[in-house]
Structure 1
Amino acid sequence: MSIEQPKNEAKNIDQTIDQMSNEKKDEILSNFEEFKSYLGDKVEWGKKLKLSEETLAKGAEKAANYLAEHEEPRNREENLLRELWKVGTEEEQHKLAHMLVKLVDEEK
């Protein structure tokens, strides 16, 4: 994998979030099960593209950063994740992103 590939993937995540309608965001974030399902679909898609677990976690990390900075939690689980994200170091956030990928991957 080249150095450019992760940069392009991060850019794609930004574009996907920016292009998503508020209605779609509300649907995904309306409850935690819906959020996990959406993230699980993206992880499954990434695995089909043969993305590494590290790349999947970086994608989850990018999405989590966006959510922490731009979206209000809509339920207790999202609020807990946001609070953990805010107090975590970059290393802890990265580990939490890995854990989120593992959580949704094990449910598929």
Structure 2
Amino acid sequence: MERAEKAVREKSQEEKEQILQNFEEFKNYLGDKVEKGQKLGLSEEAIAKSAKKVADYLAKNEEPKNREEYLLQQLWKVGEEEDRQHLARMLVRLTNETN
């Protein structure tokens, strides 16, 4: 799980900007990481936990770049731990639907 957060932290600001600038780009990036996790044999739950770590980092350290990210950030902030876990699972499923 820490590897997911570390990978996000280590991205250059330019790379983060490129990924976060457009919600479709963000979904594609997340979808690529989900697909890699699935190929490694990770369960949906393990992938969702990694997605939650990344979302925690983004909510605390990055400004939303579009309406969709702003909405996700606001939902993340008002949600409790269980809500955030559900939202992370839903994001993982969203990327599966679009890939």
TM-score, normalisation: structure 2: 0.97
Equivalent residue pairs, number? 99
1:15 match = 6
Deviation at 1:107?
1.0
Encode CA deviations 1:23-55: one digit per residue, 9 max, x unaligned: 100000011000000000000000000000000
Encode CA deviations 1:53-91: one digit per residue, 9 max, x unaligned: 000000110010001000000000000000000000100
Q: 1:1-108 alignment to 2 at 5 Å?
A: 10-108=1-99
RMSD: 0.7
Structure 1 residue ranges without an equivalent (≥5): 1-9
Structure 2 residue ranges without an equivalent (≥5): none
> Which has the larger Rg?
1
CA distance, structure 1, for counterparts of residue 53 and residue 74 of structure 2: 16
Kindly report structure 1 stretches of 4+ aligned residues shifted beyond 3 Å.
none
Q: Percent identity of the aligned residues?
A: 57
TM-score, normalisation: structure 1: 0.89
